Amino acid sequence: MSADTTYKGNAPRLGFVGLGDMGRGMGINLAKAKFPLKVYDLRPEAMVEPVDAGAIAAKNVREIIEFADIIHLCLVYDEQILNIVLGEDGIIARGRPGQIIVIHSTVLPAVVEQCAQAARAVGMDVLDAAVSGGSPRSLAGTLTIMVGGTDDAFERCKPGLDAMGTSFHVGDVGTGQAMKLTNNVMGICNRLIYLEALKIAEAYDIDEKTMN
């Protein structure tokens, strides 16, 4: 992995934690866009591709907190988000006023609202920036990003968000997650309707290829 780098200019320093199926492509595209970027994942091998694209590998989350102005999180569970943001060694405990936490994980709106309330009390801010599109679009940099939060935080984070896809500011904190849940419900319902329609076709010996 590459050595540390000195960045020039006024670009915000970014941190990215969670380089799984979705986060890997997001981290790669932020690195390709030449943002000052440190990445971290519990699995060292997950950091290789973002580092090859220009990121710096962090040794731990604390290093991300110390480095970044904007910290992107792409984890799996509500508990992981609450721990990394609100925990004893977390971002709010170790961070500084002016930092923005961007939550890409699909979690309950109440989770991001809880994080935002705690962040504002210490001069930080939170965006919930739920993503849709799957890992192929994550790698292609064409995700749909549904963002809830203040206008100011959105504008500060928008250049980074736009490196990963197309971002839409849909309202206050929590609305990004609500939009993602709405999107998921519509997708599931459309799939169920499709399966029910197939039963009619099957009853008349029409194959699925013809239906499609």
Active centre residues (catalytic): 180
Tell me the C-alpha distance between 29 and 44, whole Å. Answer: 18
DSSP character string of 144-179: EEEEES-HHHHHHHHHHHHHHEEEEEEESTTHHHHH
Of 12, 26, 50, whose CA–CA distance to 156 is shortest? 12
Contact present, 167 and 161 (Cβ < 8 Å): yes
- Environment class of 66 (CB within 10 Å of its CB; exposed 0-12, middle 13-18, buried 19+): middle
Q: Which residues contact 136 (CB under 8 A, 6 or more apart)?
A: none
The strand pair at 143-148 and 125-132 is best described as antiparallel
Tell me the C-alpha distance between 39 and 96, whole Å. Answer: 19
Contact present, 35 and 11 (Cβ < 8 Å): yes
